[in-house]
Amino acid sequence: MTFPVAQLRRAFRVVNGGTPTSDPENWDGEILWATPVDLGSVNGGVLDATTRTLSDVGLASGSGAVPAGSLIVSTRAPIGYVSEVVAKTAFNQGCRGLVPTQPLDVRYFRYQLVSMSEVLQSRGQGSTFLELSSEALAATPVHSPSLATQRTIADYLDTETVRIDALIESKQTMVELAEERYRSSLSHRIDGAADHHAALGRFVRSITQGVSPQAENYPAQDDEWGLLKLSAVKFGAFIPTENKRLPADYPIDLNLQPQPGDLLVTRSNTPAYVGDACAVTGESGKVLLCDLIYRLRLDARVLPEFAAASLLTHHARWHLSGAARGTSQSMVKLRGEDVKATPIPVLDIRGQELLLDSIRQEKRLRDELQAAISQQLSGLKEHRQALIAAAVTGELKIPEAAA
């Protein structure tokens, strides 16, 4: 079946958004106000709540809005998130609204635009950042079958995507359960490994904090230097590729380059993640410590990998999150003294090595399981996208639509 194609402006009116001033009278009203982040949280679905809201004054002074039954598309950072709104909704300048100008099933066009994310991105322009202009969005070609066919396809996709989404959710739950089981096992093994605990500081030879220069928002290449991000330290794993490129003329202090045997601990994050730890077990590459990561060097009585694992147990996490300070509960900080005061089990080197061997084996099993599930998740997501694309273009023959 071949569907007719027309520019998006034939079916929708494009509305631009905006951001009112910070004047309190503009905010916290009854009008939803969407950003690309809000759209991304429900991409391809229905938006019925936003992080912030506007008052009538705020809407009139600095934003645009669309009625229920319209679509909102993110047109900047990133391009291509799509959501349907069920109430009058305003949005910032990173989005554009699509208001139907003729009878149509908005669900069909929501699905179609989701399947066209790469097309929308390719139509973006700009030197500093890509943006999809109102004109480029309005001129985008879309398939426009009859209203009855739109409804049939939308009904079919509503049913099929719910089924696929349920499978995706169950797989994601399996990943989370595998992670929680590993974390609980880690805590049980380490906390029960010794009758005696001592403060980590008893074994620390030095503690160093990194730097905070201005860095680019993308990772360094092979011949460039990068500044580690907080995400470079993730539950016992050191991920040096999680970095931001440093300017070519930045003076490199090699003393801040992580070395094998270093213990890294994050000093700032949310309460649930502050104090995350890992050991550097190989060459780090051309990266430097940022000011939000501590580097600890230990004496010969404690293996860095054992110390990192000990800091990840429930007991240590309770201590670290409780010691963190800050006026905002979204981001808190640890002092070096807080990290050094964290209790760890006291074992001889042989006992630490044996315990680490068993932990590594369990981690390998967890990683294999998660890799298998991640592959299944990728397949489901690709199938979902392909199904939508085939249905909205007429490539997939849906009996009612064919009739």
Is residue 353 one of the residues assigned to a domain?
A: no
Which is more confidently placed, 128 or 52?
A: 52
- Residue-level pLDDT at 328: 63
Give 59-103 pLDDT, tens digit per residue. Answer: 999 999 999 999 999 999 899 999 999 999 999 999 999 999 999
- Residue-level pLDDT at 299: 97
Is residue 165 one of the residues assigned to a domain?
A: yes
Is residue 10 one of the residues assigned to a domain?
A: yes
Q: Which structural domain, as residue segments, surrounds residue 398?
A: 145-180+359-403
Q: Is the pLDDT of residue 403 over 50?
A: no
Q: Per the structure, how many domains does the chain have? A: 3
Local confidence band at 329 (pLDDT 50, 70, 90 cut-offs):
low
Structure tokens at 45: 């679905």
Lowest mean pLDDT among 139-148, 269-278, 336-345, 352-361: 269-278
Report DSSP letters for 42-81, one per residue.
Answer: TTTSEE---SEEE-HHHHHHH-EEE-TT-EEEEEBSSEEE
CB-based burial of residue 318 (10 Å sphere; 0-12 exposed, 13-18 middle, 19+ buried)? exposed
Report DSSP letters for 92-161, one per residue.
Answer: -TTEEEEEE-SS--HHHHHHHHHHTHHHHHHT-B-SSS-B--HHHHHT-EEE---HHHHHHHHHHHHHHH
Eight-state DSSP code of residue 224: S
Q: What is the mean pLDDT of the chain?
A: 94
Do residues 73 and 85 share a domain? Answer: yes
Is residue 188 one of the residues assigned to a domain?
A: no
Q: Is the pLDDT of residue 375 over 70?
A: yes
Local confidence band at 401 (pLDDT 50, 70, 90 cut-offs):
low
Neighbours of 273 (CB within 10 A): 18
Is residue 352 one of the residues assigned to a domain?
A: no
Do residues 149 and 133 share a domain? Answer: no
Is residue 185 one of the residues assigned to a domain?
A: no
| Percentage of the residues of the chain whose pLDDT score is greater than 90 | 87
Do residues 175 and 96 share a domain? Answer: no
Say whether the peptide bond before residue 24 is cis (omega within 30 degrees of 0).
no
Q: What is the CATH number of the domain that holds 283?
A: 3.90.220.20
Do residues 229 and 364 share a domain? Answer: no
Q: Is the pLDDT of residue 395 over 50?
A: yes
pTM as predicted: 0.78
Do residues 29 and 39 share a domain? Answer: yes
Structure tokens at 340: 């050094």
- Residue-level pLDDT at 191: 84
Do residues 198 and 342 share a domain? Answer: yes
Do residues 310 and 381 share a domain? Answer: no
How many residues can be counted in the chain?
Answer: 403
**Max alpha carbon distance in the chain (Å)?**
78
378 with 386: CB under 8 angstroms? Answer: no
| Percentage of the residues of the chain whose pLDDT score is greater than 70 | 98
- Residue-level pLDDT at 392: 96
Do residues 118 and 218 share a domain? Answer: no
Do residues 263 and 206 share a domain? Answer: yes
| Averaged pLDDT, 193-219 | 92
Do residues 157 and 87 share a domain? Answer: no
Do residues 82 and 156 share a domain? Answer: no
**Amino acid, single-letter form, for residue 305:** E
Is residue 88 one of the residues assigned to a domain?
A: yes
- Residue-level pLDDT at 16: 97
Is residue 329 one of the residues assigned to a domain?
A: yes
Do residues 283 and 363 share a domain? Answer: no
83 with 45: CB under 8 angstroms? Answer: yes
- Residue-level pLDDT at 327: 67
| Averaged pLDDT, 330-342 | 92
Q: Is the pLDDT of residue 45 over 70?
A: yes
Do the bridges between strand 64-66 and strand 226-228 make them parallel or antiparallel, or are there none, so unpaired?
A: unpaired
- Residue-level pLDDT at 216: 87
- Residue-level pLDDT at 289: 96
